[in-house]
Structure 1
């Protein structure tokens, strides 16, 4: 006997198209997402260069903690926008969000190139950049996740590797341009690069899922999922420390009697290590498990920070630490979305990812200023800052392990 068709439901909620792993649209989405993250995340990961420049030029009278608030506000706005952008992604898809993000990110950099006061930089490079960052990042990652299932971690890893490649290119480019054409034109040139990347992303990124009526701003049912709640908690604790080396490694290297040009190279080396860290562990994650890869990566970040950075007093050790930290931090960033997707239904990936980033925005906001305050309290001695970073990462990894153990126990219960 045929079942009656719910006409209203069929009109308002079209069925998802048959799933095809990757395909042309899927690979083009990875391609476009790579460029979106190259521009947005890559530019953000170059903030260590700005931190050093501001401390010696526009903001010479401000402390390291004060200056780091610019980057922290940028990260907070980016992370916090996640739930809002995720909801818009569900309703409208990625194209208009990416186009808006491209315009806003480019505008923010143009305004940064003209800014000369602390509050102007907070507004332009912090708030406005963070909005553009979120509009480029979240639709790109959510759209990529919809095209892949078996090789989702690999696809997301390749896409997010764009941020590390950008993190290599932008510090080198900005450092050289600062010294040749000046701060204003250096930032404007980087804005044009970001504009071109955003146009490519807008033209190529697509979602496999049809647009649908967005859910509530806060998905309370997700917060009741213990695995999801614990995963977000672990990521939040890690976010207290994970960006600290990226913000302070250049300043640390210069304080270790390394020239400014070579010191800026430490950040590029860190981001170069992150390129491989976002791809190789992602491939491994599809073979041995996402959480089986994420947990040791976070632990090793903590170990190398406490064991190596704490004793890095020469160029060789600083660069060695930069490579290893870059590799394992790249793995952490690459696996966040795939780990969330593993414990979520397909149609909830966008909203859950956005909500997770919104929740971790608060530790991301205060982590670097706390590290800067510790540095100021210790009169420029980095020991406290490094311990703060390592302990945050270690505690975050232990909470992530709890999620893995819960998943294992639920699988055993079904056997």
Structure 2
């Protein structure tokens, strides 16, 4: 899901609409009876094992992708020294884009009843990541497709087993990406830079991920029948582009992701090249993701008091300022403050993406598709953000340049969010308090 990726609330919101869409599309009273809330297990071995399997997939997929800063650091300083930072960043950028794009396809396959094929297909793709010499094809494309195949279906299938407890269970499942993003950078840094070296270290990581995915495959079970008809993306897209607040939100999300992926890819490398200790730089991404987890956990509480759009604007404004502050990264204290603070406010922003799109969508049936469209827009920022920042960084590592560029683009995103809020306020005023 802006997952840093679509690995949290974005996919949760899309999944939470699955059952509702199925009932409304069929229009069959018998189907509605079958999906009566009292008919959901709300527990039991299959239900909780499915939730555990979904957690493992989220831990592996998003945790691996958001650890790319470890690889960016290692590739730039040791393994791919003949390549520019921009060229290296394309590996992680394409990986992130594929998670968004393939997720749209795999989510629809789940609706059509094709679920248990995704994990067996993804397993060899993870294995290829650990063996192939062509890093871009294996890590960029192979693991991107693998994670995209499992990301959305793993969360959506939880809605087959829970109705009353769905929000709670999905909240537990989507802690997987945050925990994976905290632990996997530590593991990768110690494996790659320790005694095992790059090749064996990546093999160990891929082996662990493949093993956990195999366990998840046997743990997860579908329960509801396939949807007989899918929502039309074309119809919703045509309507969405006439909705100015929604368009502003999508453009703002794409711009925000430029700063997000600049931080994700370059924070560890920046810390290391400024002479900070190896021990600290190994934990710089963990500090970032710990802040992100805290931001995600508190964003809902804050938005309940000040409103979702206002909270999104506030997180975006502060995040933009923190991106500019990368210019002043010189010490352990500054790196820790930047990582923790940006992680917190960007995490709060990410947690509210799906609620924001839901807030901006008048028809319940369109929420899942609108979130999917916003994924595609966000993917543009994730694809081009880090490579463009790497290009202005150059091989001489002039750090103020990408900080200014990423901060400026993120500020443009803030302007889009402010515009969104102004349009909403105007609509509320002219419509007597309701969004039209």
TM-score computed with the length of structure 1 as normaliser: 0.84
Paired position in structure 2 for 1:64: 85
Shift of 1:392: 1.9
Rounded to whole Å, the distance in 1 between the matches of 2:164 and 2:252 is: 24
Asked if residue 238 in structure 1 is aligned to residue 232 in structure 2, the reply is no
Shift of 1:159: 4.0
Rounded to whole Å, the distance in 2 between the matches of 1:18 and 1:291 is: 33
Q: Secondary structure at the match of 2:403?
A: helix
Paired position in structure 2 for 1:40: 61
Paired position in structure 2 for 1:5: none
Rounded to whole Å, the distance in 1 between the matches of 2:423 and 2:30 is: 34
Alpha-carbon distance change, 209 to 318 in structure 1, aligned in 2, over 3 angstroms: farther
Q: Secondary structure at the match of 1:180?
A: coil
Paired position in structure 1 for 2:5: none
Alpha-carbon distance change, 399 to 124 in structure 1, aligned in 2, over 3 angstroms: same
- After TM superposition, list the pairs within 5 Å mapping 1:364-403 onto structure 2: 364-376=382-394, 379-403=396-420
Rounded to whole Å, the distance in 2 between the matches of 1:130 and 1:290 is: 31
Paired position in structure 2 for 1:312: 329
Q: In the alignment, which of 69, 72, 77 is matched to residue 98 of structure 2?
A: 77
- After TM superposition, the structure 1 stretch with the greater mean CA deviation from structure 2, 69-78 or 276-285, is 276-285
Shift of 1:324: 0.7
Paired position in structure 2 for 1:215: 231
Quote the RMSD (CA, aligned, Å). Answer: 3.3
Q: Deviations over 1:92-118 (max 9, x none)?
A: 37x43xx51x444443332222233xx
CA contact (8 A) 2:158 2:166 kept: no
CA contact (8 A) 2:126 2:146 kept: no
Alpha-carbon distance change, 234 to 213 in structure 1, aligned in 2, over 3 angstroms: same
Asked if residue 185 in structure 1 is aligned to residue 200 in structure 2, the reply is yes
Rounded to whole Å, the distance in 1 between the matches of 2:341 and 2:365 is: 36
CA contact (8 A) 1:158 1:278 kept: no
- After TM superposition, list the pairs within 5 Å mapping 1:324-343 onto structure 2: 324-343=341-360
- After TM superposition, the structure 1 stretch with the greater mean CA deviation from structure 2, 357-366 or 12-21, is 12-21
Shift of 1:375: 0.4
Shift of 1:12: 11
Shift of 1:288: 4.2
Asked if residue 323 in structure 1 is aligned to residue 323 in structure 2, the reply is no
Alpha-carbon distance change, 388 to 142 in structure 1, aligned in 2, over 3 angstroms: farther
Give 5+ residue unaligned stretches, structure 1: 1-7
Paired position in structure 2 for 1:3: none
Paired position in structure 2 for 1:195: 210
Q: Deviations over 1:180-205 (max 9, x none)?
A: 22223322322233235435655358
Shift of 1:248: 0.5
CA contact (8 A) 2:271 2:281 kept: yes
CA contact (8 A) 2:178 2:293 kept: yes
- After TM superposition, list the pairs within 5 Å mapping 1:290-305 onto structure 2: 290-305=308-323
Q: In the alignment, which of 348, 353, 374 is matched to residue 356 of structure 1?
A: 374
What number of residue pairs does the alignment pair up?
398
Paired position in structure 2 for 1:256: 274
Asked if residue 347 in structure 1 is aligned to residue 365 in structure 2, the reply is yes
- After TM superposition, the structure 1 stretch with the greater mean CA deviation from structure 2, 233-242 or 199-208, is 199-208
Shift of 1:128: 1.8
- After TM superposition, list the pairs within 5 Å mapping 1:11-50 onto structure 2: 14-15=31-32, 17-18=35-36, 23-24=42-43, 32-50=53-71
TM-score computed with the length of structure 2 as normaliser: 0.80
Q: Secondary structure at the match of 1:257?
A: coil
Shift of 1:368: 0.7
Paired position in structure 2 for 1:162: 176
Shift of 1:258: 1.5
CA contact (8 A) 1:108 1:125 kept: no
CA contact (8 A) 2:326 2:400 kept: no
Shift of 1:24: 4.0
